[in-house]
């Protein structure tokens, strides 16, 4: 059987805002995970349209397409093309789960929720000629005992971070603007792999660098502790994501840093307590955001800070205040978002009930456009402020100011080099992508993610260690903003 798995290009890949490097970071790990359930004799093809051309003159027996909101129209067009040729087309992903009736009009089969539970049953049904139109993930979810990810289908040279990995599913938090609750409805919303299986997967990956794509790597403390204990001595360097409260609570950050953690994606999102309450982001309430940046700096961990603009308590001053805070507190990279009410979320239900949804054009749901009516500013002000925040944060002056906020010279240099390299040398990234040799840049990334130890800290005039990172074994990381 010929099985073709496709990740269609997101709409923004064709827009003026397209940054090839942003979409050449990670391979489509979800499809590679499902591919592991196929029979050894199947001819399985995996195509990521962001990094390689997609042939559409073929007629596979089965076409599996992963659908996000901003590739939905492209996914539906591809599905229609292949269905006309008699191929069985299956659609899955976040957007399909959120709008199953919309998606089912374009497919022979759709999957709702995570696919590890439903895809094997679908394959058995399809081979027997009795595939159902809808498969729904429910109770009994697990990722224990999964077959190894089909990394042989991934063209490593096309990605800066081919060693992406996921060892948990979901998140224990319930933020109102997040897809997670809709996607995991009907079963467990957060669960982990077996630690030994996660370590075995890590051991199979070449090179040193890893990127954990988990929504919340610290979400299950016993699992995270065992994982980091197992990774000590493996010589790995890694990046991931965690919440503010998990960073401030206990010593998990220190354990992760000892295991090789170099950078963390942190969802600060908003400084307004009212916004936090409205979005059910309780884990950020009454947290000292500056304490988070200090805690991570002390652990030698750089920060990719996430911030959302356009919540109901945000006025026109929110953009400048956010940029100034991020620069002053030494955030290395920032990812800014216009609040976006994705279908299936609490936020979408709330704004719909208030009659504030202004667009149902999924191509605009890219966190760059205001698709709703903000409460305290106009949509035009929101979009203009979003773009201004990016320009100002990544301006040379603010890159220098943020780098200079670190007390160690080595921190200053690394911060400046990484932040400038990420945003100010686009032609270099484009050249490596055109040559199809992004893999040559991965060793450079690994070199940037180097260790900071007590030996790097010079005593001040009183004889005391200078700087915050004065604990043996601390690390100096970089981040990959989205």
Instruction: Report whether 86 contacts 27 (CB < 8 A).
Output: no
Question: Which CATH number do you get for residue 291?
Answer: 3.80.30.20
Give me the pLDDT at residue 482, please: 44
29-33, 278-282, 391-395, 421-425: least confident range: 278-282
Tell which wins on pLDDT, 431 or 444.
Answer: 431
Q: Are residues 165 and 126 in the same domain?
A: no
Tell which wins on pLDDT, 466 or 429.
Answer: 429
Distance, in Å, from the CA atom of 443 to the CA atom of 160, rounded to the nearest integer, reads 10
Residue at 283 is within a domain: yes
Residue at 462 is within a domain: no
Tell which wins on pLDDT, 59 or 11.
Answer: 59
8-22, 232-246, 423-437: least confident range: 8-22
Q: Are residues 108 and 163 in the same domain?
A: no
Q: Are residues 289 and 209 in the same domain?
A: yes
Confidence bin at 16 (pLDDT 50/70/90): low
Q: Which of 101, 136, 171 is where one domain is finished?
A: 136
Tell which wins on pLDDT, 352 or 450.
Answer: 352
HSE (side-chain half, CA atoms, 13 Å) at 167: 25
Q: Which of 376, 156, 335, 318 is nearest to 241 (CA)?
A: 335
The predicted-structure confidence for 159-213, as pLDDT tens digits, reads as follows: 999 999 999 999 988 888 988 888 999 999 999 999 999 999 999 999 999 999 9
Confidence check: pLDDT of 355 > 50: yes
* Domain containing residue 66: 2-136
pLDDT, mean of residues 371-395: 97
Confidence check: pLDDT of 458 > 50: no
Q: Are residues 31 and 162 in the same domain?
A: no
Q: Are residues 40 and 177 in the same domain?
A: no
Q: Which of 183, 247, 185, 258 is nearest to 221 (CA)?
A: 247
Question: Which CATH number do you get for residue 89?
Answer: 3.40.50.280
Confidence bin at 287 (pLDDT 50/70/90): low
Q: Are residues 164 and 293 in the same domain?
A: yes
Give me the pLDDT at residue 14, please: 66
Residue at 467 is within a domain: no
The predicted-structure confidence for 306-317, as pLDDT tens digits, reads as follows: 999 999 999 999
Residue at 42 is within a domain: yes
Give me the pLDDT at residue 436, please: 87
35-44, 184-193, 407-416: least confident range: 407-416
Residue at 378 is within a domain: yes
Instruction: Tell how far CA 264 is from the center of its chain.
Output: 11
Give me the pLDDT at residue 274, please: 86
Q: Are residues 181 and 304 in the same domain?
A: yes
Q: Are residues 213 and 113 in the same domain?
A: no
Residue at 434 is within a domain: no
The predicted-structure confidence for 185-199, as pLDDT tens digits, reads as follows: 999 999 999 999 999
Confidence bin at 15 (pLDDT 50/70/90): low
Confidence bin at 453 (pLDDT 50/70/90): very low
Helix (H, G, I), strand (E, B) or coil at 88: strand
User: Structure tokens of 415?
Assistant: 């911060």
What's the mean per-residue pLDDT of the chain? Answer: 89
**Domains in the chain: how many in total?**
2
Q: Which of 384, 404, 424 is where one domain is finished?
A: 404
378: left (phi over 0), alpha (psi -120 to 50) or beta: beta
Confidence check: pLDDT of 134 > 50: yes
Confidence check: pLDDT of 344 > 80: yes
Confidence check: pLDDT of 447 > 80: no
Within 113-236, strands assigned E span 134-136, 164-165, 168-170, 190-192, 209-212
Q: Are residues 122 and 193 in the same domain?
A: no
pLDDT, mean of residues 92-109: 98
Confidence check: pLDDT of 47 > 70: yes
Instruction: Tell how far CA 159 is from the center of its chain.
Output: 15
Tell which wins on pLDDT, 451 or 381.
Answer: 381
Q: Are residues 230 and 344 in the same domain?
A: yes
Helix (H, G, I), strand (E, B) or coil at 4: strand
Instruction: Report whether 19 contacts 479 (CB < 8 A).
Output: no
Confidence check: pLDDT of 270 > 60: yes
Within 167-318, strands assigned E span 168-170, 190-192, 209-212, 237-242, 261-269, 302-309
Q: Are residues 220 and 368 in the same domain?
A: yes
The predicted-structure confidence for 356-369, as pLDDT tens digits, reads as follows: 999 999 999 999 99
Strand 168-170 and strand 190-192: pairing? antiparallel
Give me the pLDDT at residue 460, please: 35
Give me the pLDDT at residue 17, please: 62
Q: Which of 71, 106, 136 is where one domain is finished?
A: 136
Give me the pLDDT at residue 278, please: 80
Tell which wins on pLDDT, 286 or 234.
Answer: 234
20-34, 91-105, 370-384, 428-442: least confident range: 428-442
Percentage of residues in the chain having pLDDT higher than 70? 91
Return the top range by mean pLDDT from 47-51, 420-424, 438-442. 47-51
Residue at 447 is within a domain: no
Residue at 474 is within a domain: no
Q: Are residues 305 and 374 in the same domain?
A: yes
Percentage of residues in the chain having pLDDT higher than 90? 69
């Amino acid at each position: 059987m010929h099985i073709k798995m496709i990740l269609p290009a997101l709409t923004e890949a064709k827009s003026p805002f397209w940054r090839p490097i942003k979409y050449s970071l990670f391979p489509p790990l979800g499809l590679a995970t499902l591919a592991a359930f196929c029979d050894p004799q199947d001819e399985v093809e995996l195509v990521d349209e962001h990094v390689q051309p997609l042939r559409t003159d073929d007629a596979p027996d089965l076409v599996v397409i992963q659908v996000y909101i901003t590739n939905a129209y492209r996914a539906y067009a591809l599905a229609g093309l292949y269905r006309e040729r008699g191929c069985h087309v299956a659609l899955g992903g976040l957007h399909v789960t959120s709008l199953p009736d919309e998606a089912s009009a374009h497919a022979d089969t759709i999957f709702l929720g995570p696919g590890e539970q439903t895809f094997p049953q679908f394959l058995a049904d399809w081979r027997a000629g009795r595939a159902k139109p809808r498969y729904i993930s429910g109770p009994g979810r697990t990722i224990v005992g999964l077959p190894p990810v089909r990394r042989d289908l991934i063209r490593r040279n096309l990605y800066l971070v081919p060693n992406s990995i996921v060892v948990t599913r979901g998140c224990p938090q319930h933020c109102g603007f997040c897809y997670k609750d809709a996607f995991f409805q009907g079963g467990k919303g957060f669960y982990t792999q077996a630690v030994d299986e996660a370590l075995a997967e890590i051991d199979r990956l070449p090179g040193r660098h890893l990127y954990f794509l988990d929504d919340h790597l610290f979400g299950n403390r016993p699992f995270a502790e065992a994982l980091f204990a197992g990774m000590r001595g493996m010589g790995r360097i890694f990046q991931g994501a965690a919440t503010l409260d998990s960073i401030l609570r206990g010593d998990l950050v220190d354990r992760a840093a000892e295991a090789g953690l170099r950078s963390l994606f942190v969802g600060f999102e908003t400084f307004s307590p009212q916004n936090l309450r409205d979005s059910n982001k309780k884990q950020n309430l009454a947290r000292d955001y500056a304490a988070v940046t200090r805690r991570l700096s002390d652990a030698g961990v750089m920060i990719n800070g996430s911030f959302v603009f356009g919540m109901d308590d945000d006025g026109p001053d929110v953009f400048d205040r956010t940029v100034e805070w991020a620069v002053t507190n030494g955030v290395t990279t920032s990812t800014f978002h216009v609040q976006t009410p994705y279908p299936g979320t609490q936020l979408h239900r709330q704004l719909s009930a208030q009659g504030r949804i202004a667009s149902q054009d999924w191509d605009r749901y890219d966190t760059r456009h205001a698709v709703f009516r903000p409460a305290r500013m106009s949509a035009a002000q929101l979009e203009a402020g979003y773009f201004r925040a990016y320009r100002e944060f990544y301006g040379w002056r603010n890159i220098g100011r943020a780098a200079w906020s670190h007390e160690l010279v080595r921190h200053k240099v690394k911060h400046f080099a990484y932040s400038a390299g990420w945003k100010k040398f686009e032609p270099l990234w484009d050249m490596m992508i055109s040559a199809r040799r992004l893999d040559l840049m991965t060793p450079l990334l690994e070199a940037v993610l180097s260790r900071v130890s007590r030996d790097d800290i010079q005593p001040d005039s009183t004889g005391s260690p200078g700087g915050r990172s004065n604990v043996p074994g601390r690390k100096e990381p970089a981040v990959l903003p989205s």
